[in-house]
Amino acid sequence: MSIPKEYIPHEIESKWKSAWNESIYYFDWNENKRPQYVIDTPPPYPTGNFHIGNSLNWCYIDFVARYKRMRGYNVMFPQGWDCHGLPTEVKVEEINGITKNQVPRAEFRRLCEELTSENIKKMRETMLELGFSTDWSNEFVTMDPSYYVKTQRSFVKMHEKDHIYQEEHPVNWCPRCETAIAFAEVEYESRYTNLNYLHFDKLKIATTRPELLAACVAVAINPEDKRYNDYIGKAIKVPVFGQEVKVISDDNVDPSFGTGVVMICTFGDKQDVRWWSEHNLPLRKAIDKNGYMTAIAGKYEGMTISECKAAIIGDLESKSLLYDQEHMEQNVGMCWRCKTPIEILSEKQWFVRINPDEILSTAEQIEWIPEHMKVRLQNWTGTMEWDWCISRQRIFATPIPVWYCRKCGQTMVAKEEWLPLDPTQNNPPVNCECGSNDFEAEEDVLDTWMDSSITPLHVSGWLTRDDTLLPTQLRPQGHDIIRTWAFYTILRSMSLTKIKPWDTILINGMVLGEDGHKMSKSAGNIISPDEVIANYGADSFRQWAAVGGTPGSDVMYRWKDVISASRFLQKMWSIYRFSMTHLENFDFDKNKRNLKELPLVDQWVLSRLNKVVISTTKSMDQYQFDEAFKQLRGFIWDVVADNYIELVKSRLYGEDIDDKLSAQYTLYTILNILIRMLAPFVPFISEEMYSRMGFETSVHLSEWPVGYKGDIDDDIEQQGELIKDIVASVRRYKSEAGIALNAPLKKIEIYATIPDIRDIAGATNSKVECMPGTPDFDYVPVEIKANMGVIGPKFRKKAGNIISKLNELDPKVAHEQISHGNLVIEVDGEEVELEPEALVIEKEVMSGGREVDVLDVKGIVIVIVK
RNA sequence: GGGCCCGUGGUCUAGCUGGUUAUGACAUCGCCUUUACACGGCGGGGAUCCUGCGUUCGAAUCGCAGCGGGCCCA
């Protein structure tokens, strides 16, 4: 079987993509021999584009999933799709040239489902290209009845526990989307606005929102503010509209802002809501759900907010009530989808009761990687001021299974066994307590987070199996949305099961473009994973994901990283090709060797290999993929390719059968272990190499190698390193002297005892001899240095002076002294005695006129006889 | 305004439980067709380890302050 010289990723990757049987990645629900490892894969929003940020996240997941399988876990790496939401509604309206109210609800929903299915298909394809070991038998789609029945049942269960309730309460409202939104959906942006100074009856106030004068319900001052003390408790008249409001005092009024007098409206901002509830103020709604002024705005009724603002300012000016304006910066809350400034309206909505303490204590029981990301959740949790508003005024979402009796007004929440259902399509199967069967359906639907915050429950078999697998072992997620998914999911999991959703959270960073900015459409620095695969293949892309940065840190996308990754594949392939041609007729099972029987160089490389296995395993266990892969790559390139192979070539090409078999045994062992460790990172090339070695099962069903501490021998390693260094040094010598690298030298004399010099002779193509004693040359000590590891702790404060004293010494004299015993020097008038271990003496060897060259390798003299 | 993270050759980065010679990749320059690989090998140049103060015999590493960047939030 000949192995092509060039590694062509496209051919190999597409071959395996179609050859692989995906069922090898299925989670086995019916076995209990292996420990479970369930991954709560984040369900992406099906935009149709599986972007590079997803890809980074999924590479991490796949590294873990493949690694854990090889370590003997029963792994579930499911894939879900978080379908519901506004962007799809908008897209459907765009594609079909309609608005959602022009077609029946069911029809509109069907159009959304269709588009979503197409998008899922596209994204699945990219995931397959990238070689993810997804368990497609556990795929879930939140818009399917089989999934949203769980969302609905969770609603009913939480309602029964009083964790969900309906109430009129201020909510964040997007007038463009005509829906309530949660705090998590509010984005803040700095904008400029005018601060308007108004005559307000006897007082002067400053406000950025004069259009809300009609909604003014009080005026507030700081109790410490002497200027206005007399007004507290008095009533004053609101200009233009004439309603009488009370002057109240509150510590939160900043006397230095504006005039120190603030008008309170229902509602200009969050602070208004706080004051409104603390001081039990009345409610005046001046803005309706569509963003128009209401009847209480009098002649301004029906205007938009900005029209009203302009009109009122004009009127105030003409009545000389506006006496000053100041340009100022202001942070405006906006809808994260459409960037329309949000309003705070009081509406009847459904809420989930939040329990910050429970969320915080649960977060403590979860391992966060990196640890500091937990703080973000804690900070966010601490700022929650009111409950989570879960009702939305949209169509493409999970329906709220509720009706209202038209006769008596009673709310009927569906029974779990009726679900799934859409109340706008089905009537309840029973009559109301009052006997009526005339119901009005709840048209509001659920926030999509109600779907996606139960994914760990869903993948664990909650409501479909007697036992759930909770907690799941891992949730991988980007750090941009910690506040939402972590908060909501912990909340739901605790409310519904009292079990934490995950053991571990693995956070990934954002992907930055080559310009250093977060990759985004608006920045125009987008690279798609498909583009990278088309050029260099999935294995190269995956290496970028592994070594681009530590999990949690942002990772810059760089073409050159992918290019060097593809070079590594070629290098590995070349090592493999070389090895395999020397292993053609080698039977591993018949030629097993005991470690100690092997030549020194083989023992050395195997000792190093065991160390790499142990440290790579440790890095994988800590999710440090960059460390793990760099160790592998470094070992393969530096140790195996540049040194080990060069050292054993002569044995592989030589006549000595036993020497040759030892090298073959060692090479085979190295390959077998390295290929399996590469498998989680570069699944395609690993499979190709593994299968060509004659294994019938997939490398992805093999076991992760075990490193044995007992096979690590520091003495052997030291001797092996010396051999490696001597050969490298001779290679360098030849290179610098212009001698062909395979040209023989007359003789190489090594002034040290090395038990096994056959590979030195082989690699240098020269006669090698270990010489007894010291060479017949003059040593010239050139420098005397302090060994700080010894001197520092021993002499403390004196160490500094000892160093400067040592620098003054003549290295020759010092060396003379130290060769007879300890070095005694005078420091600060005291005699200090230094042991040989405390010093390092650098020497040069003079060739003294002999017709030879002399090399120095770690203090050992090598004589080259030309 | 608050919180978290980060600042290391031209670029990106390792080290950061303190030990004097700071890792690697990419880029750059020079040499080499050598029984796997020129998508390779060997060698070279290139760093005020953001700044300042402090702790210490000794600081890239620990502390404080400042400057700069990123992210999350208000």
Cα angle A529-A530-A532, degrees, rounded to a multiple of 5: 65
The values of phi and psi at residue A708, to 5°, are: -110, 120
A62 CA → B6 C1’, Å = 28
Return the closest nucleotide (C1') to the Cα of A579.
B36
pTM: 0.87
pLDDT level of residue A607 (50, 70, 90 thresholds): very high
Residue A1 pLDDT: 59
A45 Cα distance to chain centroid: 17
Return the closest nucleotide (C1') to the Cα of A577.
B36
On the question of pLDDT at A838 being above 90, the answer is no
Residue A850 pLDDT: 62
Nucleic acid strand B: bases within 7 A of protein CB: 2-5, 12-14, 19-21, 24-27, 31-32, 34-37, 39-43, 56-58, 70-74
Residue owning tokens 């369930």: A38
Q: What pLDDT digit, counting tens, does each position of A344-393 carry?
A: 888 888 999 998 889 999 999 999 888 888 888 888 887 777 788 898 88
Return the closest nucleotide (C1') to the Cα of A379.
B3
Cα(A568)–Cα(A561) distance, rounded to whole angstroms? 11
A345 CA → B69 C1’, Å = 38
Residue A424 pLDDT: 94
Return the closest nucleotide (C1') to the Cα of A8.
B39
Return the closest nucleotide (C1') to the Cα of A187.
B73
pLDDT level of residue A849 (50, 70, 90 thresholds): low
A622 CA → B60 C1’, Å = 25
Residue A552: closest CA among A627, A618, A477, A488: A477
A789 CA → B54 C1’, Å = 24
A501 CA → B52 C1’, Å = 47
Pairing status of strand A80-81 against strand A140-141:
parallel
* Total residue count of chain A as it appears in this document: 866
Report ipTM for this prediction: 0.91
Cα(A619)–Cα(A629) distance, rounded to whole angstroms? 9
A151 CA → B2 C1’, Å = 36
Q: What pLDDT digit, counting tens, does each position of A35-62 carry?
A: 999 999 999 999 999 988 899 999 999 9
Q: What pLDDT digit, counting tens, does each position of A158-189 carry?
A: 999 999 999 888 888 888 878 887 776 777 77
A378 CA → B63 C1’, Å = 26
Mean pLDDT of chain A: 89
The dihedral built from the CA positions of residue A642, A647, A649 and A652, taken in this order, carries a sign that is negative
Long-range pairs of A619-625 with CB within 8 A, sequence gap ≥ 24: A620/A63, A620/A67, A620/A680, A622/A369, A623/A60, A623/A64, A623/A369, A623/A506, A623/A551, A624/A550, A624/A551, A625/A60, A625/A63, A625/A545, A625/A546, A625/A547, A625/A551, A625/A681
What integer is the mean pLDDT of A236-258?
Answer: 85
Enter the tokens of residue A9.
Answer: 């990723």
A793 CA → B18 C1’, Å = 12
A557 CA → B46 C1’, Å = 25
By C-alpha to C1' distance, B57 is nearest to A797
Three-state DSSP at A238 gives: coil
One-letter amino acid at A508 equals N
A473 CA → B57 C1’, Å = 49
Cα(A375)–Cα(A382) distance, rounded to whole angstroms? 10
Residue A594 pLDDT: 93
Return the closest nucleotide (C1') to the Cα of A567.
B39
Return the closest nucleotide (C1') to the Cα of A558.
B12
Q: What pLDDT digit, counting tens, does each position of A477-536 carry?
A: 988 888 788 999 999 999 999 999 999 999 888 888 877 777 777 667 788 899 999 999
Return the closest nucleotide (C1') to the Cα of A509.
B71
Q: What pLDDT digit, counting tens, does each position of A111-141 carry?
A: 999 999 999 999 999 999 999 999 999 999 9
What integer is the mean pLDDT of A639-662?
Answer: 93
By C-alpha to C1' distance, B69 is nearest to A516
